[in-house]
Amino acid sequence: MDVAVEPRTTSGHRSLRRTLSAYIALTKPRVVELLLVVTAPTMILAAEGIPGLWLVLATLVGGSLSAGSAGAFNCYLDRDIDRVMNRTKDRPLVTGELTDRQALVFAWALGVASIAWLWVFTNWLAAALSLAAILLYVVFYTMVLKRRTAQNIVWGGIAGCMPVLIGWAAVTGDLSWPPFILFAIIFLWTPPHYWPLSMKYRSDYQAAGVPMLSVVRGRAQVGLQVILYAWATVACSLLLVPVAGMGLVYSAVAVVTGGWFIYETHRLYNLAIRHEHVSPMRVFHGSIAYLTLLFVAVGVDPLLPF
C-alpha cells in the first residue's frame, strides 16, 4: 500500500512544481531581474546613501510584481505569435501548462497587488508610476506598437525605463532631473540591446508577422542604428556627472564600459557591411553587462568620499 501511495505523492509534487514554474515563467524573470538591477542603485543615489532596508525591499517587491504583471499580460496577448516563434515555443500558454484564463487572472492579480503594495508601503507616486509602467508595456507596446511598426521597441521601451522613476519616487516622494537622465539612459540603451537579439531571431519575427527592424531592414542598416543608439546612450550616461554630481568612480566606469559597448556595436556593423558572419548575441549579452556595471557604479559612487 505504501508503494502505491508514494508515486502519487511524488507525482503531485512534480505537478505542483511544474505549475509554479509555469506561473514564474509568465513573469519573464530575466526581465524582472534586470529591472531590479537598475532600481536599487537609483534608490541609493536618491538617498545619497543607503536608504532604509525595508523601503528598498518594499520597492523591489512592488517593482517585481509590476514587471511580472506586465510580462504575464504580454504572454497572454502574444500567445498566438508565441506559438509560431521557436524562441517562445516553450512558454506556458504554448505548452498548455497553464490556461489562458489562469494567465489572465494571474496578470490582473499581480498588477493590482503591485499598485496596492507600493501605495501602502512606499507612496502614491511610486504606485501611480507602477500603474503607468504596466499600461505602457501592455497597451502601448504589446497591443498598439509591436505588430504595427519597426519602431516598436524604441517607444515600447519606455515601460522598461519606469523602474528608475519608481525607485527615485519611493525614496523622495517626487521626481527631479537625475532620475530622468537615468530614464533616458535606459530608453536609448533598449534599441541597441534588443535589435541584436531580433537579428538572431529574424526568421522567427518574420514568420510571426512582427515588423522588427531586422525584418524590414538589412543587417547593415540595423547595425548602423545600433551604433547610433549606443553612442547616444553613452553620451547620456555622461550627462549624469554634472546633473547628479557623480564622482570619479561613476565617471570612470561610464567612460570605460561605454567605450567597450560602442566598440562592440562598431564590430557588429563592420562584419555586417562586409557580409561576414556576425554574432549579434555578443552585443546583446554585452549590453546587459554594460548596463549592469553602469548602474552598479550609480549605486556605489554616492557611498564613496571622492
Q: What is the pLDDT of residue 2?
A: 45
Q: What is the pLDDT of residue 13?
A: 66
3-state secondary structure labels for all residues of the chain:
CHHHHHHHHHHHHHHHHHHHHHHHHHCCHHHHHHHHHHHHHHHHHHHCCCCCHHHHHHHHHHHHHHHHHHHHHHHHHCHHHHCCCHHHCCCHHHHCCCCHHHHHHHHHHHHHHHHHHHHHHCCHHHHHHHHHHHHHHHHHHHHHHCCCCCCHHHHHCHHHHHHHHHHHHHHHCCCCHHHHHHHHHHHHHHHHHHHHHHHHCHHHHHHHCCCCHHHHCCHHHHHHHHHHHHHHHHHHHHHHHHHHCCCHHHHHHHHHHHHHHHHHHHHHHHHHHCCCCCCHHHHHHHHHHHHHHHHHHHHHHHHCCC
Q: Do the domains 20-174 and 176-306 sit in the same CATH topology, yes or no?
A: no
The architecture that CATH gives domain 176-306 is Up-down Bundle (1.20)
Q: What is the pLDDT of residue 6?
A: 47
How far is the C-alpha of 226 from the C-alpha of 188, rounded, in Å? 10
How far is the C-alpha of 301 from the C-alpha of 217, rounded, in Å? 40
Distance of CA 70 to the CA centre of its chain: 11
Q: Mind listing the pLDDT tens digit of every residue in the chain (306 residues)?
A: 444 444 555 666 668 888 899 999 999 998 888 888 999 999 999 999 999 999 999 999 999 999 999 999 999 999 999 999 988 889 999 999 999 999 999 999 999 999 999 999 999 999 999 999 999 999 999 999 999 999 899 988 899 999 999 999 999 999 999 999 999 999 999 999 999 999 888 898 998 889 998 899 888 899 999 999 999 999 999 999 999 999 999 999 999 999 999 999 999 999 888 877 778 899 999 999 999 999 999 999 999 987
* Cell representation of residue 281: 548575441
Q: What is the pLDDT of residue 57?
A: 96
**Domain ranges, ordered by start, for the chain:** 20-174, 176-306
Q: Does domain 20-174 have CATH number 3.40.190.10?
A: no
Distance of CA 219 to the CA centre of its chain: 24
Q: Compute the chain's Rg from CA coordinates.
A: 21
